Structure 1
Amino acid sequence: MKKYDLIVIGGGPAGYAGALKAAQYGKKIALFEKEKIGGVCLNVGCIPTKALSSKAGLLENIRTQTQKEVLRDAGLFSYKKIQKQKNEVVNRLTRGVDSLLKAAGVDVFLKEAEIISPNEIKAGSEVYSTEYILIATGSSNLLNLSFDNKNLSYDSTGLLNIDRVPSRMVIIGAGVIGLEMASIFNSFGTKITIVELLPEILPDFDSDVTKAYQRQLEKRGIEFQLGSLVKSIDSIQENKKRIIFTDKDGQEQNIITDIVLCSIGRKPNVDKANAEKLNLKIDEKGFIVVNNMMQTNLPNIFAAGDITGAPLLAHVAIKEAEVAVKNMFSDKKNHRSTNLVPSCIYSYPALAKIGLTAKQAKEKNLEILEGVYNYIGNGMALALEETTGFAKIIVSKKDKKIVGGQILGEQSVELIMQLAVVIANEMTVDQWDEKIMVAHPTLSEILHEAIMDSDNKSIHTPLSKKS
């Protein structure tokens, strides 16, 4: 029987990050993955989506310049070649992770593994023993939905691999995945309708931000049916689908479409953990319960990533895995923090947030100041011709500490990380003013002006708007 210091089950972001972190402690590690190294994120999630999104954004820019007659006869594209490049990006990254694991001395087994005891796993006919187990089996798209008993809808994995651009698509669910797919395929020329049960999109953001975001998507031709309940999906002639739903006024509506994307949530991949047999604690939704050290109720079994039910994001998964491994092999105990999780939507325009929203601050009875600055007032935004959007900063009124921010607009998903550093170090508006010099011209100046606006000190905000 082969013996390891750590066996990792799952080769996605949490799994491979955990294995690589353990290798830094000189440990003997095995990683089991039943499909492909890289998991959902690298193979059928974050990376291929962003590869498509980059081309969608390029097309939007080309169309804008064509309308202004800067470019002529531009904007035709080959979806087949876009898909080919997407696959090349995915393959390059997965090969890179394979190489890192090999260089770190991790034994990688492309097999399905099952936990049979707190110190043993079984893969095929082989049994492997270990001091610790890290469960990083991730999550899957919700399937077998009541309104789609004939399985006529696509999930995001299937949609990423279609070989043609549909002329019409209905997306069920206005979450991050649904909105990103809507933006991408809208840029490719697909007519998009989003059907969402809730009365507004993205409830974790402030409503003034999401309303501005929705307006921009609507300007591009994306239609929203909010407060609507899907009843059924049927197949009709010529490979068309008919989706029937009840709208916000209680009226039954139907849309004929080429493709239906169902993007309403994910479920944990907990089957092979043998939770009941091992007495491994799971919650009512099937996610593994862990403490803030990523430890389950069985002391030598840890879990990280989507399987724990924390925000289902690759960067959360990586961080959780690192915390778990540090707590296995380091004398200094580490704790998971969910206070500073960046949330990013890679659409056109992009949207991002970190820290507290105004809504969350109010729920905590925290008195706040708000600072806002629009892209259109920024020199670099004007030079890039990306003037849509704004930054909104949340500041504690009591001590003027910067506690949160939301950014709608070009490169918002990159700019938001500046706020992560600011908030993590509990920086105040005055400290920012005294210590930070922002390069000019940059989009970062938008953040600077928004921060200063929270204290009525933005020199590029008209005085008449401060009173």
Structure 2
Amino acid sequence: MADTNGTAFDIVVLGAGSGGYAAALRAAQLGKNVALIEADKVGGTCLHNGCIPTKALLHAAELADNAREGAHFGVHSTLDRIDMGGVNQYKDTVIGGLYKGLQGLIKSRKITVVEGHGKLVGQNAVQVGDTTYTGDHVILATGSYARSLPGLEIGGRVITSDQALTLDFVPKSAIILGGGVIGSEFASVWKSFGADVTIIEALPHLVPNEDVALSKAFERAFRKRGIAFNLGVRFQGVTQNDNGVHVTLEDGKSFDADLLLVAVGRGPRTSGVGYEEQGITLDRGFVITDEKLHTGVGNIWAVGDIVPGLQLAHRGFAQGIFVAEQIAGLNPQPIVESGIPRVTYSHPEVASVGLTEAAAKEVHGEDAVETLEYNLAGNGKSKILDTQGFIKLVRQKDGPVVGVHMIGDRVGELIGEGQLIVNWEAYPEDVASLIHAHPTQNEALGEAHLALAGKPLHAHN
């Protein structure tokens, strides 16, 4: 418990992003005295430079598309211009409201917030400036940063998502290096805002971590929107001047644009914070832990983007809660990575949970997996929304559903039921017996399971 100087705690959390503040909130709820150390703002990347601001931009982009395409629905409107000052004001208002609410919540739980750069200086000690904070347990949650490629310097017209989120103009043209979640979301935003967009991806598909059927459908949708992409080719170099950037690829192709957005993933923020000096094992900068997120050193734990695996805010939340409950002696169930839902919030959206078809065949055997695709063309609400896509289910033959994969506008809102199906190891017959409201897109999940259970309603045998 706290000493007279207020520097000794039950738990010291280094980093106040999704994983760190979730750990602090849950630990305080369980009666622990917690110090939460943060060099910037509580809320971390997700709240200030990631999930929340990008989704605000994507909502503004959806409104731009609606204004431009309203005549299709009998609503005639014109899109005069994109006012990035107004868009950014809306984005910042959303962030500000959530930030204020988080600060109030942390204060109400009586968590001690320490502002400054923290460094692990012992197995139970974190130093901030001239002050050392000790804890019976230490939770490492220092998050991640926008990576670049070796030799590719960020600056000027070569930017990362950090700078892209604060642009006060819409680029006339943009090249995006990386076709994963971040690159695809910015491509979607800028195209809706009127920019010419080209994506360069070294792997064979866009959103390459998804089931290949979704990746191919996503590529068709982007192609239809006029978003260009080059797949399976590596970036070679870039030059820039006052007018823009000139990008060359290893296959000899070259492109010119106003900006180059580098969206090649995020790296763990573990340099210069004392981890290795205290015996913490790092692999390519990531903190190695056991399945209970313990580092193997003293009472030191790690959560969030610094732990190998999916770099998602909701994964960080879950890990933070999990570690706090372990420390409090509640013995929670370890987190299964494949059971974590994943969403790309572009137009169209991609949402998935569980194993892809290829991964399921690796785990269960080539002949032990069954799949089904349900086209959203048969779903009334999707028809009303004028969205195209499908739901793909992956199951063990005569066994539970092990993967739910979806593409189409707003399907991210369906992934909640999908993750229940996968995590509770439901059989198609179990889901088929549930009644889904009509007309909803959620109903498509029910119909897909009806079909997989051998009794399709609005789908052919």
TM-score higher than 0.5 here? Answer: yes
- Distance in 1 between residues matched to 2:151 and 2:311, nearest whole Å: 24
3-state SS in 1 of match to 2:301: strand
Q: Structure 1 vs Structure 2: percent identity of aligned residues?
A: 31
1:336 Cα offset (Å): 2.5
TM, length-normalised to structure 2: 0.95
More off after superposition, 145-154 vs 367-376: 145-154
CA contact (8 A) 2:158 2:261 kept: yes
| Alpha-carbon separation, structure 2, partners of 1:174 and 1:323 | 32
Aligned residues: 454
Answer yes or no: is the 8 Å Cα contact 1:148–1:232 preserved in 2.
no
Structure 2 gap segments, 5+ residues each: none
Q: Which residue is 2:452 aligned to?
A: 454
Tell me, yes or no, if the aligned pair for 1:147 and 1:231 is still in contact at 8 Å: no
Q: Is the 8 A contact 1:9 1:31 kept in 2?
A: yes
* 1:106 maps to which of 106, 111, 114: 111
Give the match for residue 12 of structure 1: 17
Structure 1 unmatched runs, 5+: none
330-339 or 440-449, which deviates more: 330-339
Instruction: State the match for 2:248 in structure 1.
Output: 244
Paired residues for 1:207-356 under 5 Å: 207-236=212-241, 238-246=242-250, 250=251, 252-283=252-283, 285-356=284-355
Matches within 5 A, 1:140-155: 140-143=145-148, 145-148=150-153, 152-155=157-160
State the SS of the aligned residue for 2:287: coil
Q: Please say if residues 429 and 449 of structure 2, whose CA atoms lie closer than 8 Å, have aligned partners that are also in contact.
A: no
Whole-angstrom CA distance in 2 between matches of 1:333 and 1:186: 44
Cα distance in 2, alignment partners of residues 196 and 178 from structure 1: 9
CA deviations 1:26-70 (Å, max 9, x no partner) are 111111100111101000100000000011112212222135552
Instruction: For 2:249 and 2:148, locate their aligned partners in 1 and report how far apart those are by CA, in whole Å.
Output: 19
- TM (norm. structure 1) is 0.94
Distance change >3 Å, CA 169–CA 156, structure 1 → 2: same
For residues 129-174 of structure 1, give each alpha carbon's deviation from its aligned partner in whole angstroms, at most 9, with x where no partner exists: 2111111000111146324487751000101101100000000011
Q: Which residue of 2 aligns with 1:116?
A: 121
Larger deviation, residues 450-459 vs 145-154? 145-154
Deviations 1:190-217 (A, max 9, x none): 1000011112222322222211111101
* In the alignment, structure 1 residue 406 sits paired with structure 2 residue 405: yes
Give, as a single letter, the amino acid of the residue that structure 2 aligns with 1:408.
I
CA distance 1:68–1:460, shift in 2 (3 Å): closer
3-state DSSP of counterpart to 2:163: helix
Deviation at 1:234, TM superposition (A): 0.6
RMSD of aligned residue pairs (Cα, Å): 1.7
208, 213, 223: which one aligns with 1:203: 208
Distance 2:31 2:133 in 1: 19
**What pairs up with 1:370-381 in 2 under 5 angstroms?**
370-381=371-382
Which amino acid is the alignment partner of residue 444 of structure 1? N
Q: Does 1:73 align with 2:72?
A: no
Structural mapping, 1:155-194, within 5 Å: 155-194=160-199
Say which SS state the counterpart of residue 232 (structure 1) adopts.
strand
Q: Are the counterparts in 1 of residues 119 and 274 from structure 2 also a CA contact under 8 Å?
A: yes
2:50 is the counterpart of 1:45:
yes
SS of the equivalent of 2:105 reads helix
Per-residue CA distance 1:355-404 (angstroms, 9 max, x = gap): 11111111113412222221221111222233x111111122133x1211
Q: Partner residue of 2:389?
A: 389
SS where residue 242 of structure 1 aligns? strand
Distance 1:414 1:245 in 2: 37
1:66/1:73 contact within 8 Å kept: no
Change (3 A) 1:144 1:178: closer
Paired residues of 1:233 and 1:244 also in contact (CA < 8 A): yes
Question: 1:32·1:109 contact (CA, 8 Å) conserved in 2?
Answer: yes
Of 156-165 and 328-337, deviating more is 328-337
Q: Over residues 406-463 of structure 1, what are the superposed CA-to-partner deviations in whole Å (9 max), with x where a residue is unaligned?
A: 11012211101101112222221222233x011111111111111122233111113x
The answer as to whether partners of 2:68 and 2:78 remain within 8 angstroms in 1 is no
Residues in 2 aligned to 1:47 and 1:411: alpha-carbon distance in whole angstroms:
16
* Letter aligned with residue 248 of structure 2: I
Other-structure match for 2:60: 55
* CA distance 1:105–1:439, change in 2 (3 Å): same
CA–CA distance in 2 between the matches of 1:365 and 1:24? 41
